[in-house]
Amino acid sequence: MLESMRIVGGKPLIGTIKISGSKNMALPALAAGLLTEEPITLTNVPELADIKSMMELLSYIGADISQIDKNTVSICTKNVKFLEAPYDFVRKMRASILVLGALIGRFGSASVSLPGGCAIGTRGVDLHIKALEELGATISLENGYIHAQAPRDGLIGTDINFPIVTITGVENVMMAACYAKGTTRLINSPIEPEVVAFADLLNKMGADITGHGTHIITINGVEKLHGTEFLIIPDRIEAGTYAVAAAATHGEIFLENCNYDHLSGFFSLLQKTGTCCKKKDNGVLVGKAKSQETIIHSLEVETAPYPGLATDLQAQLMVLITRCNGVSSITENIFENRFMHVPELVRMGADISIHGKTAILKGVPKLGGAHVMATDLRASVSLVIAGLIAEGETVVNRLYHLNRGYEDIDEKLRKCGAILERFCV
């Protein structure tokens, strides 16, 4: 049975939303559990479908996983049974590729299904493979699987140049390089907060990593990693999403636990549209200072690696600027197929045309409720926000994408006054 969401739009969202732990930091953190036979305990892990998928994959590999409470998970990989990630896991969630670096690092061997394409683009893993080869691994591609084998004496540290910034690519290689002999330098590394926090976690496990937060990460190989406890950082994409919801509905939301610094560029963009974003103790207050009639100013923006506009916030921001005064544009530079929300927003009355990588938006005074189809995680939530600002009723179909990345979204929005309900068709 497929789930849908019915939303009655037009109400400003007012209240407090507690930001959950970051999905995109929790996923590599769980995979890092494979790097040591001692338990690692992660707190502030969001309860999401993608997290569940990663835990299922780790269980298959042989991890002993204890769900201590809703958001605390302990993983012990003392008794690993299979050094592989089968197709059924990787098909469901691309981030399954993260077990590749961890398994080859600790055990010297791994087989992981190739992820193939996904809704937002082709998303190759060629850079993951090339980097592991540069560390000395022998890689073969057979029957849709990546088979990776380290030399008998282990991987060997080296300089690796990434031609484009890749988050999970670098996270994978960081894990493998922890056990490589000598020094590995990852040049053109991402500086996303999730990658920095991930390096902090590995260091807490006994790794010797420096330079995270700059574009060159240096990893000196170590003999052994050990168990630890780690607090997952707040989810900046979730926080940015609710910030847009506050701005677009002309409401006011306190984003509790939101780290302002992780989103300072995004808050500057929101401020340009006329939205107030104020750093407070333990969070950020976001909202429209003035009335519904306030003119929202147009924007010309493009997605880029951090600290640029996150591709994971592009769809949400687009909903806000459908009603900006004048002509705006959004260029998507990270993924080639991440405008799937556009035809749905057009059905709701938005004036958007796509020219290659760029969407041109002509401001419209209002959106109207419609039946729309969610296509991926961020597109789904953008349609929920569109439903919240539209006149009348919106039904968002194929809602399962939303469960992959937004913990307790219905309750969080309802607490701020949203009128919405799920139903099955």
Alpha carbons 413 and 223: distance in angstroms, whole number:
47
Q: Which stretch binds ligand EPU (CB under 6 A): 36-44, 122-130, 150-158, 219-227?
A: 122-130
Of the residues 118, 276, 416, 424, only one is catalytic, namely 118
Could you tell me the smallest distance in angstroms from the CB atom of residue 404 to ligand EPU?
8
- Peptide bond before residue 307 is cis, with ω within 30 degrees of 0: yes
Could you tell me the smallest distance in angstroms from the CB atom of residue 419 to ligand EPU?
26
Active site residue 277: no
Could you tell me the smallest distance in angstroms from the CB atom of residue 194 to ligand EPU?
6
* Beta-bridge partners for 142: 145
Closest CA to 314 of 165, 168, 120: 120
Token pair for 220: 């000196």
Our finding on whether 121 is near ligand EPU (CB under 6 A) is yes
Q: Which stretch binds ligand EPU (CB under 6 A): 136-144, 161-169, 202-210, 241-249?
A: 161-169
- φ/ψ (deg, to 5) at 223: -75, -40
Considering only 58, 167, 258, 383, the residue that binds ligand EPU (CB under 6 A) is 167
Closest CA to 59 of 39, 80, 87, 41: 80
Residues in the chain: 425
Considering only 5, 33, 58, 128, the residue that binds ligand EPU (CB under 6 A) is 128
Residue 401 · residue 380 · CB < 8 Å? yes
Token pair for 210: 């420096």
Toward ligand EPU, which CB reaches closer, 252 or 312? 312
Our finding on whether 127 is near ligand EPU (CB under 6 A) is yes
Closest CA to 350 of 380, 371, 320, 384: 320
Q: Which stretch binds ligand EPU (CB under 6 A): 84-92, 104-112, 159-167, 357-365?
A: 159-167
Q: Which stretch binds ligand EPU (CB under 6 A): 37-45, 116-124, 264-272, 289-297?
A: 116-124
Alpha carbons 16 and 26: distance in angstroms, whole number:
23
- Footprint of ligand EPU (CB under 6 A): 24, 27, 94-95, 121, 123-128, 164, 166-169, 311-312, 334-335, 377-378, 405
Residues with catalytic function: 118
